[in-house]
Amino acid sequence: MEIINDRKEKLELEYPTSWKYKLIGHEKEAIQKAIHDVILEREHSLSHSNNSKTGKYVSMNLELVVMNEDERNFIYEALKKHQHIKMVL
């Protein structure tokens, strides 16, 4: 197995910053529900990204402003654990 990026450097960001998550799930409506469950009524933008060839999966782009690294990681983990989300990138 080849390690693509084995750098130990930490990503340096200035907060607050706009951050994008790519969410993959079975249905657009389910992804929207997951987003609502995690970020509630917080301002964000959501756009369609792609559908799988078989139509089994859909990907959406979520963009919102995060205030710090802890918040960015918390949102990532909460979305990743949500039953309607198959993968977060």
The verdict on whether omega for the bond into residue 16 sits within 30 degrees of 0, i.e. cis, is yes
Residues of the chain with pLDDT under 70: 1-7
Q: Domain with 23 in it: what CATH number?
A: 3.30.70.260
What is the span of the domain harbouring residue 81?
17-88
Residue 11: inside a domain: no
Residue 3: inside a domain: no
pLDDT at residue number 1:
47
Q: How far apart are CA 63 and CA 18, in angstroms?
A: 7
Tokens, residue 65: 């402003």
Please count the structural domains in the chain.
1
pLDDT at residue number 11:
76
Rounded to two decimals, the pTM is 0.86
